Amino acid sequence: MKIHTDFSSFNNGKRSVVTIGTFDGVHLGHKAIINRLKESAEAVGGSSVILTFYPHPRMVLYPDDHGLKLLNTPEEKAALLEKAGVEHLMIYPFSNDFSRISAYDYVRNLLVTGLNAQKVIVGYDHRFGRNREGDFKTLSEWAELFDFEVEEIPVQEIDDVNVSSTKIRQCLASGDLETANSYLGYRYSISGQVIHGAKKGSTIGFPTANISVDYQYKLIPANGVYAIYADVNASRYKGVMNIGHRPTVEQTSLLHLEAHLFDFNEDIYDQNIRVELVSRIREEKKFGSIDELKQQIFVDVASAKSILS
């Protein structure tokens, strides 16, 4: 997949079939749209193109009050779209000035001149342009003017999938990891750098990798203990991870992500780690003593090993 951030690099020698959206999560609902996109591109001998925007429009329009947490970092989303078989990803810069562009100029400048659209596929409720003035009806009118085809995915098809990024965020925030993963069609993952911690896990026999997540808008699931797979140094390990505030060891307002990897004893400080969350074992809780916590960790590790086996 080729990634573009402006139209000067987009010149693939043939016309495009384009769909537009945020595609946060690249979940099963998105994949239904992507499959339609690919089928249409193949039918007309064109290229499959996704047009998305960065930063997320809500971050620009409501910088102090967007409250937005995303399922994917930009890198994660690009990797998922490439895996889904999309040929071109256009990440167009979103700004306050761009938000004021008319629907007509949006179609002419982005879809026609910029992406050489032969066909545009949109969801049943797609709106675009200044004050969301453009809709499927206006898009159809300009499609005739500019000689491209437009297709609307009907509400029934969207509802049949019954998946949305909002639903997945709600599941993760409430700790319903299994439902979230089933909606995504893959395991939710978190990536970051291994940083130095208090090293208290080592003192009780369970050393942990403390993970710092660089992307501030990445959604972190509900506090608790999770069975995980971890990818580090091109190898995969099984393990268990706690997300929370460490109430037994030292209650803190900071959120900590601590992964204990099974059969692992390497120095991985300052290295990148990717964690896939397989199952939520329990909520985080405060124990009466370190010994009680240690006994519970033995139970958690056994539960994780059973789940991952």
Task: List b or e across 167-190, with b for residues whose CB sees 16 or more CB atoms inside 10 angstroms.
Answer: bbbebbeebbbeebbebbbeebbb
pLDDT at residue 100 greater than cutoff 90: yes
Q: What is the pLDDT of residue 156?
A: 58
Cβ(76)–Cβ(189) under 8 Å?
A: yes
Mean pLDDT of 74-82: 97
Q: For residue 108, what pLDDT is reported?
A: 96
Least confident of 10-24, 33-47, 199-213, 234-248: 199-213
- Is 90 exceeded by the pLDDT of residue 13? no
CA-nearest of 30, 23, 114, 35 to 74 is 23
Q: Note the pLDDT of residue 18.
A: 97
Domains and CATH numbers, the chain: 2-166 (3.40.50.620), 189-308 (2.40.30.30)
Q: What is the pLDDT of residue 66?
A: 82
Note the pLDDT of residue 164.
Answer: 87
In the numeric block, which tokens belong to residue 274?
């990717």
- Please write down the HEC assignment for all residues of the chain: CEEECCHHHCCCCCCEEEEECCCCCCCHHHHHHHHHHHHHHHHHCCEEEEEEEECCHHHHHCCCCCCCCECCCHHHHHHHHHHCCCCEEEEEECCHHHHCCCHHHHHHHHHHHHCCEEEEEEECCCCECHHHCECHHHHHHHHHHHCCEEEEECHHHHHHHCCCHHHHHHHHHHCCHHHHHHHHCCCCEEEEEEECCCCHHHHCCCCCEEEECCCCCECCCCCEEEEEEEEECCEEEEEEEEEECCHHHHCCCCCEEEEEECCCCCCCCCCEEEEEEEEEEECCCCCCCHHHHHHHHHHHHHHHHHHHC
Please report, to the nearest 10 degrees, the dihedral formed by the alpha carbons of residues 44, 25, 80, 307 taken in order: -130
The pLDDT, as a whole number, for residue 227 is 98
pLDDT value at 85 more than 70: yes
Q: What is the pLDDT of residue 25?
A: 96
Q: Residue 202 above 70 pLDDT?
A: no
For residue 243, pLDDT over 80 is answered with yes
pTM beyond cutoff 0.75:
yes
| Start-to-end Cα distance in the chain | 35
Per-residue pLDDT at 125: 82
pLDDT band, very low/low/confident/very high, at 250 (cuts 50, 70, 90): confident
Grade residue 10 by pLDDT with cuts at 50, 70 and 90: confident
For the segment 208-237, the average pLDDT, to the nearest whole number, is 96
Position 154 scores a pLDDT of 76
